[in-house]
Amino acid sequence: MDIQWKPKAWLAILLGLFFQPFVFLYVNQFKYFIRYFIGALIIAAVDVFLHSNYFPFKSGNMAWLQNIYLSWLFIVICPIHGFMIARRYDITQPRRWYARWWIVLASYALMMLPLIVLRGFFFEPFSIPASSMKPTLAPGNHVLVSKYGFGNYRYLGFQLAKSTPSVTPARGDILVFQYPANPTIDYVKRVIGLPGDRIIYRDKTIFVQKACNVSREACAGLDSQYDLIDKILLPELSTETQAVYQESLDDIRYQVLLLRHQKELVDRYYVQENTLRDEWLVPAGQYFVLGDNRDNSLDSRYFGFIPQDLIIGKVIYIW
C-alpha cells in the first residue's frame, strides 16, 4: 500500500461531475461512496415517483417543475465534496487499491455494462411526454417495453445491434418505434393493421379487412369482407366536448378518446397509390398504427406505415 499519496483536486472535480458517487473511491473514502450510492438510488426512485402520474404540479405556473430532477443535486454535491476531501487529504492514511482513477472508470463501466445490456436488448422504461395515447397513456406515465426479438437494439439513442426480427406485433399491441421521418425520435402507438390488411378510417370508425391480397375491385367498399371495430360509448367518462369509447380489436379491449366537434383532417392524410384517401393497404413487413387519442395523434393516417426494422419493442407494463 502506498502511504505518501494525495488525490489530485482537479481530477476529483472531474470524476465527481461525470461519475458522481464513484469519485469517493478515488479520494480513498469507501464509506462515502456507499452512502452516496445508496442515496442516489433512493433519490432516483423519488424522481420517478414525482414525475409519474402523481406529480403535484402538472399545470399552471408550477408546471416547469416537471423538468427538474432531484438527482441533479449529485452533479453539484459530489464534485464539491470530493474536491474538499482531496484538498484536506491526510497523506498518512494508507491508499487503498480502489483509490486510482482507472479503478473508478473500470468500476463505473462494470456497473453500467449489465444495465446497458438489460436496457439495450431486453427491457427498457420510457416516459410518455404527450397526450396522443390518452386515455390509455397520459403525459407523465411510464411504460416498460419488451425489446428482445424485435431486432432493433438501441440505448440512449445509440444503435447497439440490428438483427432479423423473431417477434412480430399483433393487432392491439402498443409499440414504441422510431418515427420514420426522424428516427432519432421515439413514438408510441397502437397496432391496428398488420401486413396485408386493408384499413379504412371513416367517420371516426375503423374498418379492417384482414390480409386482403386480392384485387382492389374485390376489396373495395364496406361490405362483409370488412370487420367493423366495435366501439361502445362510456358515458361516465365522457363530457360535452369529448367522448370516451371502448374499442375491441382481436379480443383486446382498450379505450379511445374522440373530440365531439373535431372534424377528420382527411385532406392531411397520407395518400397511398391506388387507394382512397381514407383507405390504406398495409405493405409486407410494415404496420399501420393509431394513437388512442384519435383527434390529437400524429400516426399512420398522416405519416404512413411503420417498417418492422424501426420497431423498438412492445409495451408490457404501465405505471
Catalytic entry in 134, 189, 231, 314: 189
CA distance 309 to 313: 10
Q: What are phi and psi of 306, to 5 degrees?
A: -105, 115
Choose, from 132, 134, 147, 297, the residue flagged as catalytic: 132
For residue 135, the SS3 value is coil
Cβ–Cβ < 8 Å for 188, 174: yes
Residue 174 Ramachandran class (φ > 0 left, ψ -120 to 50 alpha, else beta): beta
Contact (CB, 8 A) for 137 and 128: yes
| DSSP state, residue 283 | P
Measured CA to CA, the distance from residue 185 to residue 188 in angstroms comes to: 10
Residues ≥6 apart with Cβ < 8 Å to 313:
124, 145, 146, 147, 148, 150, 152, 175, 176
Round to whole Å and give the CA distance between 247 and 234.
11
189 is annotated as an active-site residue: yes
Collapsing DSSP to helix, strand or coil, 152 comes out as strand
Report residue 161: phi and psi, to 5°.
Answer: -165, 160
User: Helix, strand, or coil here: 251?
Assistant: coil
Residue with cell 386482403: 212
Q: Is residue 132 among the annotated active site residues? A: yes
Residues forming the active site = 132, 189
